[in-house]
Amino acid sequence: MKGKHCAKLEFHGKWERGEVQVDGETIGYTLYEIDARTEDQRLENARCKALDGYLNVFAPGHGQTAAGARSLITTIVALSSSKILWSIDVDPPKGGDPTKAEALIKIIRRKASDELLEGESQESAELPFLRVRAFGWSHGAAELMRAAEKDCDLVQQVVGLCPIGLIERPPSELIWSFMLESLRILWDALRRRDWRTVARALAIGYDIISGCVFDFLRSKSLWRVIDDIRWASRKVPGGEYDYDGIVVILFGRKDTVIRWQDVFPKAKEPSDIEHLLEEYKRRNFPKARGLQVRVLEGNHIAAEANASYYIKTALDLLDQENDLPNTLNVLQNCLL
C-alpha cells in the first residue's frame, strides 16, 4: 500500500448551499454529498432509519472548497460501509472556529433528520442510531475536534489527517511554514519530473485560493477571512477537553507545516511516540475512549496524494476499538 496512488474513483456528488442560525448569527455553508448506495441499500436504510455503519463527515483544509480533496472523499466513500459522505465547508463566522463547530453539528443533525426521519427537520432531533465518523484534513481536523466535543453522542470517531490544532503557534509562523512547504513540494516534484504531483499541488493551490476568495465574497468581511487564519493557529485539545469518543491522528513524516516533532518533542523517532502516548492522552485527550497516533510517509498533501494509504491506515486503527454495542443496537432497530 505504501507509496502507491489509489485508483481513480468515479463517484458523482451533488452540491447544496444552506444556512444555519447560531446565537442569532446566520451562517452560510456549502455541502458536497456523495451517496454511492445501491437502491436496495437506500430502501433498507430508510426502513431502519439507520445507515450501514457510520455517516462519514469530512471537513476540508483551510480555504479548500467542499469537493477540493477529491481523492480523499471518494476513497472514504469507497472504503466505508455506509457508502455516503458529507463534505461541509462553513463560511467564516463572527465567532470563529467555536461557532463553526456549533454550525457543523446543526448542519449534520438537520440534514440527518430530513433524510433518516422522513422529513422531521429538527436540528435537535433524537437520532439514536446515527453514528458519525468525522475526517478532517489540516484546519478541518481542528474544526471537527471542536465539533465533536460539543456533541459526543453524535460524533463518535474523529480522524485528524495532518491536523492543525494540536499545538499553539503564532499565525505568522503557520503561514510561513505553509508557504515554504508548498514551494518545497512543488520544487521536489519538478526536480523529479513527477508531473502528477505537480498537477495535484497546483490544483490544491488553486482550490485554496478560490476557497479564500469565496469566503470573502460570502462573508463580505476581510477581517473574518484573516481571523479564520488566526483560529487555525490555536490549540484545541488540553486538560479540559471533554470529547469521550475515539481519536486517530495521522502525521506526514516529511510534513513541515504540521510537524509531529512539535507535538511530541521528546520523541527522537516516530517509534518513540508509543511510549509517550499515555501521558500525551492524559494531558490532551483525558476523556477519550481511545487515542491512536501514527507517522506515515509523506508531506502535507500526502493525505490527498496517497489517500488510500492514509484512509486504510485510519480505518485499521479504528477497527481495533470494539464498537459492538452500537452495531447491535442498529441491527435490533432494523428487526423491529
Where do we find the cell 478541518? 140
Number of CB atoms found within 10 A of residue 276's CB: 15
pLDDT tens digits, the chain, 336 residues: what are they?
A: 444 444 456 678 899 999 999 988 899 999 999 999 999 998 888 887 788 899 999 999 888 888 889 999 999 999 999 999 999 999 989 889 999 999 999 999 999 887 765 544 455 555 666 899 999 999 999 999 999 999 999 999 999 999 999 999 998 888 888 778 877 777 777 777 877 777 777 777 666 776 667 666 677 777 777 777 888 899 999 999 999 999 999 999 999 999 999 999 999 999 999 999 999 999 999 999 999 999 999 988 899 989 999 999 999 999 876 554 454 454 445 544
Q: Do the domain assignments include residue 33?
A: yes
Instruction: Give pTM, 2 decimals.
Output: 0.87
Q: Do the domain assignments include residue 7?
A: no
Structural domain tally of the chain?
A: 1
* Domain enclosing residue 104, as ranges: 13-335
Say what the pLDDT of residue 211 is: 64
Q: Do the domain assignments include residue 255?
A: yes
Strand partners, 85: 34, 56
Where do we find the cell 426502513? 47
Q: Do the domain assignments include residue 6?
A: no
Positive/negative CA dihedral, 162, 163, 167, 168: positive
